[in-house]
A and B are shown apart, each in its own frame.
Chain A
Amino acid sequence: MGKQLITLTVNGDEYELAVASHHTLLDVLRNQIGLTGTKRGCTAGSCGVCTVNGERGEAILSCLSLAVEWDGRSVTTIEGIRQGGELHPVQQAFLEYGAVQCGFCTPGVVMSAKALLDVTTSPSEDQINEALAGAICRCTGHIKIKKAVRAAAAVMRDNEARDDG
């Protein structure tokens, strides 16, 4: 049961990797590539701390996906969402609104929020709840997190308006 060669693009950088077939995308991101921003929590899909964004920007669980399944594909992790050296509006809003306590769930929550805001920058309250339902914060609660997501959405709307104008 040897290793398999895959090509994986992470945050725009292409990696050629020899991966064990039973290692997950999470294992490879953290242990082979060294991107430890994506966290390892329950490893069974329940906690959402391992959330990254897939090819179409969709939120996925890197703990429930084999690295070999991502051969030839690209993913975005928390390390890759800065825009031109600046924090992503979601990251910036999390800082401003104190939407972080211990920080362990933060990468998964931010990647969940980004997946939503990439599709719509005017999300309804229901859409925000739904998008965040799979990334659970167990210490600070979700009030500040939701405030931060709404604020980030507003910034992204302004940016869009500026770009259009």
Chain B
Amino acid sequence: MLSSQRFRFDGESTDSETTMYPAPFRYHRAGSADEAISLLAELGDGARPLAGGQTLLVWMKLRFDEPTDLVDIARIPNLSSIEHDDHQVRIGALATHGRIAASPLARLIPIVHDCANGIADRQVRSRGTIGGSLAAGDPSCDWPALLHTLDAEVLCQGPDGERTIGIGDFVEDLYATALQEGELVTGIRFALPPARSAGAYVGFKRCAPAYPTASAGVQLTLAEDADTCADVRIALGSAGLTPIHATAAEAELRGQALNETTIERAAEAAVAASDPVDDQRGSPAFKRAMLRVLVRRAVGIAIRRCNGESVEHSHEYY
């Protein structure tokens, strides 16, 4: 939605004199996805959907975005379910980070808990949604990196109907997604990980109410022998202008024995694929050093979880 704009936003720069109020706008509340879509079409390119507001209201206070109209979608029913069957997981766009973290799904798939529960603090998790986190196109957000790790699909609905976009095609650039004007994310889905598959998502953070300095997600499937990597997906967050799907790192592990050497090679390949920006969370060199450790840790936890160990994990703080 912000595809015409290119700005660098660091979520922690705040100046209370200028961030007190967003600029005025008109507020509308949609009762259904259809109503939101027609409102957005009617109101034109100054209109934005408002979900949890945990990104958008900060952007507006900082004048990174100045919508003429907000269409509140947070009360639309049926867009916040968290469900799965034997094959597939589906999460509605309006499911909050907090509800996802506390859901049976997060117990079943620990990497989902790592991500959801590691986002900011309880206050932000009470309001912020998975759909908003995706639509923001913010490389510091955790869900886009996690959903790359799980090879998810994004379910969208707009004036031209419904469509499904692979996560790799969804995030296009810094703050730019494949969403057309007036199109909503209605949910996400991904395949339920098979037996002998487990993952871990590890972020390196300064404190809870701060975005990660860097993060790594690993979903690993062990072969029958339990020592060989049958399949793996690795993605990095806060490591460039978009989440990074580290295919070269995956190639270092797929079909290989899992040991110090192969894991280190994978971590190096992941770092080589990253392109972190210089900001107040750290220099590119610092972030690369962190990414290397994070990939190794995430692989280590994923292996332990594949072997049935319960690893309560949360992010690393410094």
Contact = CB atoms under 8 A, between A and B. Distances in A.
A27 B126 CA distance: 20
Interface stretch (A18-26, A97-105, A157-165): A18-26
B72 A48 contact: no
A78 interface: no
- Chain A, interface size category, equals 35 or more
Given A48-B121, A54-B126, A133-B209, A66 B20 contact: no
A143 interface: no
B272 interface: no
Contacts of B98: 58
B122 A59 contact: yes
Contact of B209 (A1, A20, A46, A131): A46
A115 interface: yes
B216 to A, nearest CB: 22
Given A22-B21, A64-B53, A65-B127, A43 B16 contact: yes
A21 B28 CA distance: 10
Contacts of A20: 24
A20 B24 CA distance: 8
Contacts of A61: 54, 123-124, 127
Contact of A133 (B54, B57, B121, B127): B121
Contacts of A48: 121, 123, 209
Interface in A95-138: 112, 115, 130-131, 133-136
Contacts of A112: 122-123
A33 interface: no
Contacts of B61: 43-44
Interface in A47-102: 47-48, 51, 54, 58-61, 64-66, 68-69, 71
A96 B50 CA distance: 43
Contacts of A27: 21
- Which one of B19, B27, B60, B207 has the greatest number of beta carbons of chain A within 10 Å? B27
B165 interface: no
Contacts of B207: 133, 136
- Chain B, interface size category, equals 35 or more
B22 interface: yes
Interface string B123-148: 11011000000000000000000000
Contacts of B23: 22
A134 B124 contact: yes
B138 to A, nearest CB: 14
A138 to B, nearest CB: 12
A134 B14 contact: no
B72 A134 contact: no
Given A69-B53, A133-B209, A134-B209, A45 B24 contact: no
Contacts of B253: none
Interface string B249-272: 000000000000000000000000
B20 A131 contact: no
Interface string B26-68: 1101000000000000000000001001100110111000000
B58 A44 contact: yes
A4 interface: yes
A65 to B, nearest CB: 6
A57 B22 CA distance: 27
Contacts of B72: 68-69
A44 B124 contact: no
Contacts of B20: 40, 43
A59 B20 CA distance: 21
B123 A45 contact: yes
B123 A51 contact: yes
A154 interface: no
B277 interface: no
Nearest to A60: B126
A66 B27 contact: yes
Interface in A1-33: 1, 4, 20-24, 27
Interface of A: 1, 4, 20-24, 27, 40-48, 51, 54, 58-61, 64-66, 68-69, 71, 112, 115, 130-131, 133-136
Interface of B: 11-12, 14, 16, 19-27, 29, 50, 53-54, 57-58, 60-62, 70, 72, 74, 98, 120-124, 126-127, 207-210
5 contacts: A24-B57, A51-B123, A65-B127, A69-B74, A136-B209
